[in-house]
Amino acid sequence: MEKPRRHGVSHVLDNGMSVAEVEQRLAAAAASIDLWKFGWGTAYVDPSLGEKLDLLAAHQVLACTGGTLLEISWRQGVLDRFMDWAEAVGFPCVEVSCGSVEMSRADKDKIIEAAASRFLVLSEVGLKDPAPAPSAREWAADARADTEAGATWVLTEGRESGTVGLFDAEGRVRADIADAVVSAAGLRATLFEAPRKAQQAWLIRRYGANVNLGNIQPADALAVETLRLGLRSDTIETLSRCGEERAGVERS
């Protein structure tokens, strides 16, 4: 499928890369990258933010702020200033999360609604704290509420480690949660944070080549595309199906 995509997206995590590194990664794999998240609060302190945003726009890659930055802004009572800043510097997307700062359902709905009038919204469900773990039913309820409030994609918490939220401490996917979120939000609106190859392969085998995958390391973008196409041992048994799905071929 050609860009811009709204499903089958690959979402990468920038943890403080230089402009030169961003340029190199885009030169190698821009066609396989759809969303570029500036992790945590890095966007606010990155001296080369403007140059990066220009590069991403030129390659049809959507830039997104980290959810923690929005949470801190909301807690400090400066959410409107944050959104004004994000719009002014050129972010087309923002992430709305409540994984670090306690937030009511009503507050999150209001934030998503306000953000969706100005940006594409990636909303996150799940917690960074592994205990207590919300039930699959709670994940589904939050995912459904987020989409109803206006989120374009619902992110499943997995962090950059892939050991919390959607995953257990060993990095294994919690299938009941994955299925519950997909059932509630729909596959096209679900974006799984999945930083590890085994997690990415599991999700592709379960949901197909065009499952949305997030928190990918920029250096791994081409490797993830080969997983989608069945060109790696982890998904080789689905080679024909994956290739056709990724190309947008309809199957009877």
Share of the chain above pLDDT 70, in %: 94
Residue 152 has pLDDT above 90, yes or no: yes
Return the axis-axis angle of helices 105-116 and 136-149, rounded to nearest 10°. Answer: 40
Q: Tens digit of pLDDT for each residue in 80-112?
A: 999 999 999 999 999 999 988 999 999 999 999
Residue whose C-alpha is closest to residue 39's, from 217, 185, 210, 186: 217
- CB–CB of 235/205 below 8 Å? yes
Structure confidence at residue 132 (pLDDT) = 67
- Residue range 163-167: mean pLDDT, rounded: 87
- CB–CB of 156/125 below 8 Å? yes
Residue whose C-alpha is closest to residue 14's, from 107, 83, 91, 71: 91
Q: 144: pLDDT confidence band, cut at 50, 70 and 90?
A: very high
Q: Tens digit of pLDDT for each residue in 195-210?
A: 999 999 999 999 999 9
Residue type, 194: A
Q: Tens digit of pLDDT for each residue in 199-249?
A: 999 999 999 999 999 999 999 999 999 999 999 999 998 766 766 778 774
pTM metric for this prediction:
0.94
Residue 75 has pLDDT above 60, yes or no: yes
Structure confidence at residue 1 (pLDDT) = 72
Structure confidence at residue 249 (pLDDT) = 47
Retrieve residue 170's tokens.
């060993």
Share of the chain above pLDDT 90, in %: 83
Which of 53-62, 128-137, 146-155, 229-238 is least confident?
128-137
Residue 136 has pLDDT above 90, yes or no: yes
Structure confidence at residue 250 (pLDDT) = 41
Report angle CA 142, 119, 190 to the nearest 5 degrees. Answer: 35
Structure confidence at residue 239 (pLDDT) = 64
